Structure formats: structure tokens, C-alpha cells
Amino acid sequence: MRSKAGPGGAPTFTKTARRAQILACAIEAIAETGYGRASLAEIARRAGVSKGVVSYYFTSKDELLTQVVLDVYGRAGAAIAARTDTETDPSAVLTGYVEANLAFLDEHPADIRAVTEIAMNLRTPEGAPRFTPSGADPVLTHLEGLLRAGQEAGSFRDFDAHALAILVRGAIDTASGRLVTDPDFDLSTYTRELVALVGLATRRTP
Amino acid sequence: MRSKAGPGGAPTFTKTARRAQILACAIEAIAETGYGRASLAEIARRAGVSKGVVSYYFTSKDELLTQVVLDVYGRAGAAIAARTDTETDPSAVLTGYVEANLAFLDEHPADIRAVTEIAMNLRTPEGAPRFTPSGADPVLTHLEGLLRAGQEAGSFRDFDAHALAILVRGAIDTASGRLVTDPDFDLSTYTRELVALVGLATRRTP
Amino acid sequence: MRSKAGPGGAPTFTKTARRAQILACAIEAIAETGYGRASLAEIARRAGVSKGVVSYYFTSKDELLTQVVLDVYGRAGAAIAARTDTETDPSAVLTGYVEANLAFLDEHPADIRAVTEIAMNLRTPEGAPRFTPSGADPVLTHLEGLLRAGQEAGSFRDFDAHALAILVRGAIDTASGRLVTDPDFDLSTYTRELVALVGLATRRTP
Amino acid sequence: MRSKAGPGGAPTFTKTARRAQILACAIEAIAETGYGRASLAEIARRAGVSKGVVSYYFTSKDELLTQVVLDVYGRAGAAIAARTDTETDPSAVLTGYVEANLAFLDEHPADIRAVTEIAMNLRTPEGAPRFTPSGADPVLTHLEGLLRAGQEAGSFRDFDAHALAILVRGAIDTASGRLVTDPDFDLSTYTRELVALVGLATRRTP
DNA sequence: CATGAATGAGTATTCATTCAT
DNA sequence: TATGAATGAATACTCATTCAT
């Protein structure tokens, strides 16, 4: 018997499905009730299983929440890559990046909400934030790279890539909150304005 | 009839000072340890008083956190108004608004962090968010008003004021997180880029 | 949907036994230490379990205490019914009622004490008493019905049934307190006197 | 300075008045909100003074509640004595006793309610009840004495005086609860029935 | 694999009491 | 005398985690 270590060995289909189901319910719980109220009991209830099952598939709540973040990041990254990989022109890549990001928010608002809450609240046992949007933040670094690539290709004007990357990420991230709470928020208009603005910001002035 | 608990009647100097001290410690605790770990015990510990004192000055944790938000909003609004009230030209008002906002972030990053966390986490007993950045969000409405005023004065081009207001707010709000966690973040550069971008976004194309 | 906390679904034997055990310990604690000192910690201590167990089987202290009242009322009512259902003559029914009541007090003094304390102290969150011996008090209404039935059958004289019911209940209820605290109190003598008095009070004067 | 010992020396008029006022407010608070909610803060609030004042005039809450009981007992005893001292015939004394008791309940329901709650809840630091209606209960002993006096004078029949005293006290005490909570309760009818019953219970059968 | 009973640390809150002013 | 600020213990309740079945 090897029950001590939880689901080890090669991941079976059932195992993977259970994990995915629990991750989905955790996202739903956090998005709907907030970080503080998303207890393991609440997550288990939404999954229709007992608390023990959650503990069985994830060694701790910390690990569960970490997996939520990695899961969402992975799916978001894939969706964005699928959109930008087909483009070569720096401007088109950038437009694709913004559009793919906002489209992902539109299609997965709960995922974004959950990740945001986890990033703000999850801490190490010592109290330090586990997910810090630091200088090494891969999401930001990626966008910054796109901007620099455009500059190096001579397509973009001279601006501070780090600052503009932060600015654009902020404009993207804020949209997720709006989508959930602001009934007057129109994502297509917002996307159009942001794309236009990014165009103005990067375009070489004639 | 006197108030049941806590300091009633005319606020004395001591009373006001204690409340301010506790508010400051609550902000510090939330900014440093996150919403979930900012217990009344932690706040009291930072203030160097017993838990009872916090309960004595604030009838509940809910009230304490609400006061934190009102306090920070009040101070931020005053700082921004002091900067924008001296300007008349729409472009100058807008630039002043952005600069005053970012300056406030620079000078009070913990306040912003605390307010953001409270807004995301504080709930009514029924589970609904207490501070929702809804369509009626006064902060956003104010900025939207500045943009519309510039359009009506003929100084700004034709854009979606609601969308641009959200975009600029997002660009401002994201800076607070960066300030705390990103060592490479240079606020003056960021301010310059954001001001430039807002200029490009609102300027009538020649 | 499963219940959020505590044992849901079909009550198993273990589950029922634990609940019964905790109810018994709650009764014991209230009867011995009084309502004010009967904390969940004290009840758990007497049950030999941790505080969490009590919260696991009863969603709140309010529910636990309510169950205590319903439990005791149920058992007392059953005991009394078992004694009175075999009688048909109004006088014999009434005598049986009094005797069964006092016998229950004799056998379960702690239950009565606990119920009395809960009835006097348990309040709704708004401050109103949860168990009020109002005009609609089923215990009293039952006795009043027995008295009226005897009058309508022509066995009893003309008296105020409501007033006499209250009087007899008062005489019964006071005995429980005496049983616990008065070493000179002899229940069999008391029963004899009360039965005699009820006889005198209801008998048609010749 | 002798502030350590509270109000010592000869009781001035002011002191006596303050104590009486606080006692009255304590009674009011307990009667209206119940024992558990009658905090010193609540009592002080009703008296329009600060908590410190209550602590100044009564060394502890325990002492305050004890004084409430003694105060009410004293006033009730005086009212009953005033009524029974004018009678000499045992039957008339007994009738006067019952009537004076019920009249006091009618005129001072809050006092009775408060005393009842205190008697049930107030404990010594060791957990033992402070006011126990024991065999030596002076109130009961007094009534028992009246009954025995009637028997020794040959006016009353042969009954168990202790048991009947308990029974009558129970019938009296239950009326206070009814007065407060039962809108259908008619005290004059109840008094008539109880007096009649006591007559039947003590009368020598012809 | 799955359950759910049990634990124990942690939460906000209330309150009698003390004490400097 | 009187105030009210401060304390610290006690309360009910929540929840991540463990474990026998």
C-alpha cells in the first residue's frame, strides 16, 4: 500500500480528470466568494466530493492554489502564443498580443479573478508573497521582449520598453475586474481603444 | 443617549490620535502581510496596544477597514484636487491628474496597497463585495468627467471617454504594485511615458 | 447539494450517538454550572472531545440549545402521554398527568433544569427570547385542554381553566428546583399534596 | 485620600440616591435584556453615567447583583408584612399573604424578573449558585410558618406544611413570568382562583 | 480511492475590571 | 467623585489538516 504519498506514479486519466475538476471548482469558488471565503470545504462542496479528496490530490491548500495559478497561466500563455505566433510584423504581433489577452479575459474572467486574488493573498509560511509581480515576472518580460524586438527591428519609436510594458499590462489587467463588476463596460470598445493607443505609443512619428 | 461602546461625544485630541494611529497600523499590516493575515491581533501588535483597544475605537473590523478606505480616498482626493484645481487647460488638468496620482502612489504606496486589498476582499455579511469598482465608481467617474470636459471644450479628439478612463486608471493603479515589488521600476520614467501616452491619446490629430 | 458542515445525509448510528452524547453533556453542564457558564468548551470537556466536535455536530450554539429543549420536551411529552393515554376518566387523566410530570422531574431533574435555564436565557440575535412561555405555550395548552375536557364532560366544577392550568404548571415546575436544592423536599409527599389539591380544585362541591 | 475603598463612611444622601439609581437601572436592564446581556456598560448607559461610576459604588458586578436581590426582597417583604400584620385570623393572614404577593408581582414585574434571573445565574467564583432556594429559604420558611401557625391554632386541617408552602410559592412565582409574557393572563382571576384553592387546601373538611 | 470524524490553532468580539487623570 | 482609556481573559466559531475505516 502506498496511500501515504497521495497519487503517485504515472498519472492516470482519472487522476488527471479529478485534479482538473478540483482546480476548476477552486477557481469558481475564489472568483465567486473571494479568497477569504474559498475554504477547502467550499471547494469540495462545489466539486461534489469530500474534503479528504481535495487533500488527497493536493498535499496542501498552498499547493492547490499554486496549481491554479500555473494552470491559468499555462492556458493563457498558450492562447496568446497561438495568436501571436502567426504574425511576423512587430505591430501585428503587438496588436495580436493585446487582442488575445483581452479575448482571454473575456472568455475566462473567473480564471483571471482567481489568479489575481491568489497572487495578492497567497503567502509563504514566513509571510512573504508567493507570487510577486517582480521585475522577473515572465508575463511582463514577454511583453517587454515584444516591444524591444519592434524597436530593434526599427518598426517602433524610441520609448522605455519596461515602462510601456507595465503600462499595457496594467491596462489589460484592469479590464478583468471591470468585466465582472461594471455593467457599462464594453470590451470590444475597450480593445479598440487600447489597440489604437498602443499603435500611437509605438509608431514612429513621421 | 451615549454610544454603547467606544469613544463617543466630541472627539478629543487623544481620541483622534489613537484612531489615526490604529488606521496607520492597519494600513501597514495589510500592505506588508496581506489582507488575510492582517488580524486585529496583528494590527494591535503593531500599534503596541492590546486587542481590546482596537475594538474600543472601532466597533468592528468591518468598520475599521471601511475607515481605512475612506481615509486614504480622502487624502488622495485632496492631493489630486490640490494639483488639478490650479489648472484650466484640459490638457494641463489631465497631465496634473496623472502626475498627482502617481506622486501619491510614490509617497503612499502602502495606502494604495491596503485599499486595493480591502476592496478586493471585504465583504458584507451576505458575501457581496463591500467596495465594488462599479460603473458608479467615483474615482473613475471623476477622470471620465475630465476627459469629457476636454472633448466638449474642443481640446481633445473623439474617443470613448469611459474606455480611456478605465485604461488610464488601470495604468495608474498597476504602478502601486510595481513600486513595492519591482526594483527596476522607475516611477519618473513611468510617469513621463504615461503622460506622453495620454497626450497622444487625447491630442487632435493634425 | 451536500450540507456545508457537519454530518449530512442519512444519520448513521455513530452520528446519532455522538449528537445524543453532546446533548446529554450540554444538559449536564447547564444543570450543574448554569446557563452562563455552560460554554461550548465546558460542554466539550464533559464529552471528552475537542471544541471542534461540538461545532461539527451542531452548526451553532443556538442550534445545540434548541435541540436540547426539543429533545427534553419530546421525552417528557412521551412519558406523560404513556401515562395519561391509558386513562379515560377526567379525574384519573388529571391525576396521571400530575403524577407523570412529577415522576419525570424526579427521574430527569437535570433535563428540566437545563430547559428552564435555556428558556429564560436563549435569545434571538435581535435580543428577543427564543422560547417564550406565551399564551400559545403547547405545554400549558395541553393541560388547559384536559381541564376543559373534564368540565365539558360534567366531571369538573366551574373554574377558570387557563388560570388553574397556570397554577398547576407552576406547582409542577417549582418542584424541579426543589428536588435539586432542598434536602428536606420529599417528592412523594409533594405529589400526594398536589394530587389532593387538584382533586379539591376540580371536584364538584356536593 | 481614601478613594481606594469606594464610598465609605456615613452614607450621604447623594451616595444613597446614586446607589438606588444604579440598582434601578440594573433591574431594568436585566428585566428587559436578560441576565446575559445586562453588562455593566449597558447598566451604566441606562443610568446615564460612565462604567467607572458603577464600579465606584459597587465593588464588583457580583455585589451589585447581590444588592439587587436584597433590595427587591426587602421591598417585597415590607409590602407583604404591611398587609399581613393587620390580620390575626390564620385564614385571613394567608389570604392577605397571597394577595399581597400577587399584588407586588403586578406592581413590580421587572423586579421579580430581575431577581429570578439573578438567582438562576449568579454563581460564586467556585461555580456554586449564590442564591439557592434551599430548605432554609427565608421566603419559604415564612410561608411555612404561617401554615403551621394556622394548624396549631386549630384553624387549618392536617396537611404537610412544607409541601404546601412550596406549592403555593410555585403558584405565586409562576405568575410573574406569565405577567410579562402572556397577554391573556388575567391577574385578578388568577388571584381569585389561587385564594380559593388555598382556602380549599387548608379548610377543615366538615 | 474516498469518506467524514476529529483536532487544534486561529479568528473577531465582548466585557468586568483597573487606573491615571 | 467621575471619567473613559486600556487590559486581558473568555466566548463562539472557522478551517486546514490528519487519520482510521
The predicted-structure confidence for D75-100, as pLDDT tens digits, reads as follows 999 999 999 999 999 999 999 999 99
Contact B5/D at CB under 8 A = yes
Strand E nucleotides with an atom less than 7 Å from a protein beta carbon:
1-21
Looking at residue C11, its pLDDT comes to 64
Closest CA to C168 of D178, A84, D30, D124: D178
Q: How far is the CA of B27 from the C1' of E16 (A)?
A: 31
Q: What percent of chain A has pLDDT over 90?
A: 70
Q: Which CATH class is domain C11-58?
A: mainly alpha
- C192 Cα distance to chain centroid: 21
* Nearest residue in C to D183, CA atom: C135
Q: Do chains B and D touch (3 or more CB pairs under 8 A)?
A: yes
The predicted-structure confidence for D127-148, as pLDDT tens digits, reads as follows 888 887 666 788 899 999 999 9
Contact D117/B at CB under 8 A = no
Q: Which CATH class is domain B72-108+125-202?
A: mainly alpha
Touching chains, B (3+ CB pairs < 8 A): A, D
- Please list every residue in chain D whose beta carbon sits closer than 8 Å to the beta carbon of residue C186: 162-163
**CATH fold of the domain at C65-202:** Tetracycline Repressor; domain 2 (1.10.357)
- Establish whether domains D12-58 and D68-202 are of one fold: no
**CATH fold of the domain at D12-58:** Arc Repressor Mutant, subunit A (1.10.10)
Q: By the 8 A CB rule, do D170 and C170 touch?
A: yes
Q: How far is the CA of A2 from the C1' of F12 (A)?
A: 40
* Closest nt by CA–C1' to A3: E1
In the predicted structure, residue C4 carries a pLDDT above the cut 50: no
Looking at residue D12, its pLDDT comes to 77
Strand F nucleotides with an atom less than 7 Å from a protein beta carbon:
1-21
Looking at residue A19, its pLDDT comes to 94
In the predicted structure, residue C135 carries a pLDDT above the cut 70: no
Cβ distance C178 to D166 less than 8 Å, yes or no, reads yes
Which of D174, D181, D189 should we substitute to test contact with C (largest number of C Cβ atoms within 10 Å)? D174
Looking at residue D13, its pLDDT comes to 78
**CATH fold of the domain at A10-58:** Arc Repressor Mutant, subunit A (1.10.10)
Restricting to B residues 81-110, those with a Cβ less than 8 Å away from any Cβ of A are none
Assign A88 a pLDDT band (cuts: 50, 70, 90): very high
Looking at residue C9, its pLDDT comes to 52
Looking at residue C206, its pLDDT comes to 61
Average pLDDT over chain A, rounded to an integer? 90
Looking at residue D4, its pLDDT comes to 42
Looking at residue C1, its pLDDT comes to 37
In the predicted structure, residue A103 carries a pLDDT above the cut 90: yes
Looking at residue A135, its pLDDT comes to 60
Q: What is the pLDDT along chain B (206 residues), one digit of tens a residue?
A: 333 444 555 567 778 899 999 999 999 999 999 999 999 999 999 999 999 999 999 999 999 999 999 999 999 999 999 999 999 999 999 999 999 999 999 999 899 989 988 988 899 988 888 887 666 788 899 999 999 999 999 999 999 999 999 999 999 999 988 887 788 899 999 999 999 999 999 998 76
- Please list every residue in chain D whose beta carbon sits closer than 8 Å to the beta carbon of residue B2: 45, 48
The predicted-structure confidence for D37-76, as pLDDT tens digits, reads as follows 999 999 999 999 999 999 999 999 999 999 999 999 999 9
The predicted-structure confidence for A124-169, as pLDDT tens digits, reads as follows 888 888 887 666 788 889 999 999 999 999 999 999 999 999 999 9
* Closest nt by CA–C1' to B55: E13
Higher pLDDT: A86 or A181? It is A86
Taking residues D122-126, report their average pLDDT.
Answer: 88
In the predicted structure, residue A102 carries a pLDDT above the cut 80: yes
Cβ distance D48 to B2 less than 8 Å, yes or no, reads yes
* Closest nt by CA–C1' to D7: F1
* Closest nt by CA–C1' to C15: E5
Give the span between the Cα atoms of B34 and B36, in whole angstroms.
6
Closest CA to B100 of B77, B117, B121: B77
In the predicted structure, residue D3 carries a pLDDT above the cut 50: no
Q: Does residue C51 lie within 7 Å of nucleic acid chain F, judged by its CB?
A: yes
* Other CB atoms within 10 Å distance of the CB of residue A8: 10
Q: Under CATH, domain D68-202 is a member of which superfamily?
A: Tetracycline Repressor, domain 2 (1.10.357.10)
Q: How is B29-51 classified by DSSP, letter by letter?
A: HHHHH-GGG--HHHHHHHHTS-H
In the predicted structure, residue A186 carries a pLDDT above the cut 90: yes
- The residue type of A132 is T
So where are chain B's domains?
72-108+125-202
Contact C2/A at CB under 8 A = yes
- The residue type of B161 is A
Q: Does residue B56 lie within 7 Å of nucleic acid chain E, judged by its CB?
A: yes
In the predicted structure, residue A1 carries a pLDDT above the cut 60: no
- Please list every residue in chain A whose beta carbon sits closer than 8 Å to the beta carbon of residue C5: 41
Residues in D 1-20 whose C-beta is less than 7 A from nucleic strand F are: 1, 3, 7, 12, 14-15, 18
* Closest nt by CA–C1' to B52: F7
Higher pLDDT: C120 or B65? It is B65
Q: Do chains B and C touch (3 or more CB pairs under 8 A)?
A: no
Tell me the three state secondary structure of residue C128: coil
Query: 3-state secondary structure string, D111-157?
Result: HHHHHHHHHHHCECCCCCECCCCCCCCHHHHHHHHHHHHHHHCCCEC
Looking at residue A2, its pLDDT comes to 41
Nearest CB to B127 within list A33, A178, A184: A33
CB pairs under 8 A between A and B: 151
Cell numbers for D20: 438606588
